[in-house]
Structure 1
C-alpha cells in the first residue's frame, strides 16, 4: 500500500502546491486579490466535481479490469477512451457556468469588487480544466498498473513551471507588468496543460505503457461503457460536490464577515488541504488495491487493503493534527504579511480548529477510496449529504451567527460534519469487509 500510496500522495501535494503558490504570491498583493482568488477557486472546484467523479470512476473500473487479467488491455483502453469523451462533453456547460462567475458570486451576496476579480481569475484558470482532467485519467490508468511515479515527477516539474509563471505574471518579475489575479489564473491553466502533455509524453516513451494505445482510434465510441462510467461516476461526483461545496459554501459565508475573514479562511484551508492530500493519496491507492483484489476475487486481499489504508491515513493525520495545534501562528505567518495582524490571528485560530478534524478527514477519504474500489458509490453520496449539509453547515451557521462565534463557529460546524461522515463511511466499509468471505 505504501509503495503505491506515497507517489500518489506526493503527486496530490504537488498539485495543491500549485494553488498554494498562487496563494503565496497573491497574499503579498493584499487581501482583495487573495480573497478573490479564494472565492473564484472555490467556484472552479465546485464545477470540477463532475470531471473528478468521472475520472475516479474510470480509475476504479480500470483497476478491476486489470485485476481480472484476461483481456485487460482492451478493456482498460476502452474505459479510458470513453472517460475522455465524457470529459470533453462535460466541458462546454462547465465553461458556460464559470464564465459568469461574477453574477453567481454576487447572487450569493459577495462584494461586487471581489466578484469581478474572482471572475477574472476563473476565466483564465478554466482553460486548464480539460488538460487537468486528462492528467487525472492518465494518473488513474497508471495507478491501476501500480506505476504512479511518472505522474509524480511531472507534477514536481509543474510546480517549478507555476512558480516561474507566478513570479513573472503575478509578482511582475523579469520586467513583466503584474497581471494580479489574471496572471495567477493564466499560470495555473498553463501548468495544468504542462502536466497533461508532460505525462502523455512520458507514457508514450514507455513501451510497456504505450502498447495500450490509449488514444488510438479515439473517435470510436462505446455508449454502454459510457453509461457504466456515468452510473458509477455521478454518485462520486455528487459526493465530491457536497464535500467541495460545503467548504466553498463556507468561503461564501466568510465573505459576509468581510475580506479579512475570507483571507484567513483561505490560509487555513490551504494548510488543511495540503495535509489532506496525503490521506487522499492513500485513498486513491486503496481504490486501486481494493479494485485489483475485487477483480481477482481475492476477498481477504480486499479486507487487508482497506484496513491498511484506514490505519495509514489515521496515523498520518494524527501527526498533522499535532502540528496544527502546536504552531498555528507560524503557519499563518507564512502566507500573510506582518501588517495584517488581525487576519493572521484569525487564520491561526482556524488552523487550530482544523487540527481537531484532521483524524476524521483522513479516515473518511480513505474509506471513500476503498468503497470506490468496490464500485460502492451511492450510499457514500447519502452520507456526504447528511454529514456536510444536514449537520455540518447548519451547525456552523448556528454557532457562527446565532451563538456569535463568527468564523470560528463556521469551522466548528465543519469539524462536526467531517466526524459524522468519517463514522458513517467506516461503518459502511466494515460491513462490506465483514461480508467478504475467507
Structure 2
C-alpha cells in the first residue's frame, strides 16, 4: 500500500476512534466543568477522585486492550472461533478484576488521607468514589466490547455508542449536580450517580449491538463456560499492558497528589490543565488504537513492509497534531482555562495565574506524549508488551515521579517543577519505546516472515 493509501486507511479507521475517545473523555470533562461551576472544593475533590479511580480502571483495562491486537490478528486469518474465545475471556478477567478492586473504592478515604490530602478534599472524594466506584464493572466490560468491535474495524458504532453515553452523562450531571429538571440537588454525589447511569447505558448499547450485528460470534451463549487456555493467553498479554498504562497514569496521579500538598487552588488549576491536555491526548490515543489494529493485522499476515509503512504514517499524523496543540496551549491559555470556571468565581485569578504556567509546560510534552502513545500502540499490535512495561515503569516511576518531587519540593519550584517532572518521564518513555519498536519489534516480524 502507498503512503497516501495508508493515510486514507488510517483516517477512515481512526477518525471514529478519535471521536469516540474525545466523547469518552467528555464524560470526565463534563464532571470537571460542571463541578467547577458548582464549587472549587468539589472541583478539587473530583480531580483527586478521578485520578484515583482512573489508576484502578486503567490497570483492569489492560485485559480489554489485549483483546484488540489478539482479535485483530485472528480476524486477519478469518478465525471467528478465536475471536469469540478471546473476547469472552477478556470479559471474564474484567469481572474478576472489578471484584478485587472494589474494596479500594469503598474504603478510599483513609487511603487518600494517608497520602497527605486535605481532610475536607479526601472526605468529598471518598463520598464520590463509594458510589462512582461501582461503575468500574460496566466500564471495564464496555472497554472489552469496544476493543472487540474496533479490532473488527467496526469503529463507527464505537463512536456513536460513546456519543450517546456522553450526552447521557451531560444531561444526568446537569440534573443531579444542580437539581434541574425536578431532580434533587446532589452536588458531587450527583456526578457520581450520573457516572453509574452513563456506564449502564453504554453497556446495554454495546451488548445489544454485538448480539444483533454479529450473531455468528455467539458472544454470550454459554458465557459461564471457562476457557482456561485462552484466559491465560489474554492474562499474559493484558497484565503487562495494564501495568504499562497504569505506570503512566500513576505519574499524573502522583502529580495530582503533589499538587494537593500545595493547596486546594493549585490542585484545582492542575485539574483544569490536565483535563485540557487529556482532551487533546485523545487524538493520539485514537491513533494509537489504529496503530494497534493495523499492526495486529500485519502481524497476523507477517507483512513487514505494510507494518513499517503504516507505522511511519501514523507517527507523522501524531506529530502533526501535536504541533497544532502546542500553538493552542501557548497562544490561548486563558480562554481555554476559562471554560472550566464561572466568570465571577472569587478564586478565578489565582487559578488562572497558576494554570497558565502549567499549560505552557503541558505544551512541552505534547510531542513526547504522542510519541509514547503511538509506540505503545505499535508494540501491542505485534504483541510485544513485557519489555515495554519495564521501560514504562523506569520512565515514569524511577525517573518521572522522583524528578517531579525533587523539582517541585526539594528545589522549591512548586507546581511548575512538578509538571517538569511529568515532561521528563514522558520524554524518556517516548524515546525508549520508539527505539524498541523500530530496532526490535519490527525485526520480530521480519524474522518470522
Q: TM-score range by the shorter chain?
A: over 0.9
Question: Which residue in 1 is equivalent to 2:421?
Answer: 413
Q: Deviations over 1:331-369 (max 9, x none)?
A: 111102332211122112211110111011111101101
**Deviation of 1:436 (Å):** 4.1
Question: Which residue in 2 is equivalent to 1:353?
Answer: 361
Query: Aligned match of 2:180 in 168, 173, 179?
Result: 173
Q: Say which SS state the counterpart of residue 68 (structure 1) adopts.
A: coil
Is 1:129 aligned with 2:136? yes
Which ranges of structure 1 fall in alignment gaps of 5 or more residues? none
User: 1: distance between equivalents of 2:277 and 2:17?
Assistant: 18
**Deviation of 1:434 (Å):** 4.7
Tell me, yes or no, if the aligned pair for 2:68 and 2:148 is still in contact at 8 Å: yes
User: 2: distance between equivalents of 1:417 and 1:279?
Assistant: 17
Tell me, yes or no, if the aligned pair for 1:392 and 1:418 is still in contact at 8 Å: yes
Q: Say which SS state the counterpart of residue 153 (structure 2) adopts.
A: coil
**Deviation of 1:433 (Å):** 2.2
Aligned positions, number = 434
Greater Cα shift, 285-294 or 387-396:
387-396
Question: Which residue in 2 is equivalent to 1:331?
Answer: 336
Tell me, yes or no, if the aligned pair for 1:329 and 1:345 is still in contact at 8 Å: no
**Deviation of 1:10 (Å):** 0.7
Aligned pairs for 1:231-380 within 5 A: 231-338=236-343, 339=346, 340-380=348-388
User: 2: distance between equivalents of 1:212 and 1:435?
Assistant: 31
User: 2: distance between equivalents of 1:257 and 1:22?
Assistant: 23
Question: Which residue in 1 is equivalent to 2:196?
Answer: 189
Is 1:401 aligned with 2:409? yes
**Deviation of 1:122 (Å):** 1.1
Question: Which residue in 1 is equivalent to 2:52?
Answer: 43
Tell me, yes or no, if the aligned pair for 1:67 and 1:294 is still in contact at 8 Å: no
Question: Which residue in 1 is equivalent to 2:37?
Answer: 28
Tell me, yes or no, if the aligned pair for 2:326 and 2:363 is still in contact at 8 Å: yes
Question: Which residue in 2 is equivalent to 1:214?
Answer: 219
Aligned pairs for 1:8-157 within 5 A: 8-69=17-78, 72-157=79-164
Greater Cα shift, 332-341 or 249-258:
332-341
Q: Say which SS state the counterpart of residue 205 (structure 1) adopts.
A: helix
TM-score (norm 2): 0.94
User: 1: distance between equivalents of 2:262 and 2:127?
Assistant: 23
User: 2: distance between equivalents of 1:297 and 1:422?
Assistant: 26
User: 1: distance between equivalents of 2:149 and 2:91?
Assistant: 15
